Amino acid sequence: MIYKGNVQKLGDSVDTDGMIAGRYLSILNPAELAKHIFEETIPDFARRVKPGDMIVAGKNFGCGSGREQAPFGLKALGISCIVATSFSRTFYRMAIDLGLPMVVSPEVAAAASQGQNIEVDTETGEVKLDGKSYKAEPLPKFIQEIIDMGGITDWVKKEVAARAKAAA
């Protein structure tokens, strides 16, 4: 899948506690949760993000507590993909489970600047910043399937239905 948007540039060790403050963890409405993303650490973040924008960050993106509200809120805000040097494993898995693609590329993380045009092909691993090509790790086929289905819940429903049909 190909995603296009603008870069929202962040640094290393972006913590889930900074993405969404603890007092908002009980919010269930995605649009309401999205309003509070980075509220305490980057106050203008939610206002400046446009649908389709992508976060490009450094090492250890999503470290901290395992707050599913963090990737949920980012997706609800309109973030279409996150490219980073590396991810917290817990955050990576939560984001994939919610259908938010995570792409590893130290090269893109080093080259990207705030506001640049970015295009990410999660199947080939090609990333373009203002038209210049860079390499990223393509998503494995099974992860791409989860993303394409919109998350793990819909993927599991599809798998269960396919197995039930095969068994019938």
Query: 126-148 burial string, b = 16+ CB within 10 Å, else e?
Result: ebbbeeeebebebbeeebbebbb
Instruction: Summarize pLDDT for 15-41 with one digit per residue, the tens.
Output: 999 999 999 999 999 999 999 999 999
Q: φ, ψ for residue 68 (rounded to 5)?
A: -60, -25
Q: Is residue 108 within 8 Å of 127, Cβ to Cβ?
A: yes
> pLDDT at residue 137 above 90?
yes
For 125-129, the CB contacts below 8 A with 24+ separation are 127/83, 127/103, 129/7
Instruction: Summarize pLDDT for 109-122 with one digit per residue, the tens.
Output: 999 999 999 999 99
What whole-number percentage of the chain has pLDDT above 90?
Answer: 88
Task: Indicate the number of domains in the chain.
Answer: 1
Query: Whole-model pTM above 0.85?
Result: yes
Instruction: Summarize pLDDT for 54-83 with one digit per residue, the tens.
Output: 999 999 999 998 889 999 999 999 999 999
Which residues form the domain of 12? Answer: 2-167
Q: Which amino acid is at 131?
A: G
Q: What is the CATH number of the domain that holds 143?
A: 3.20.19.10
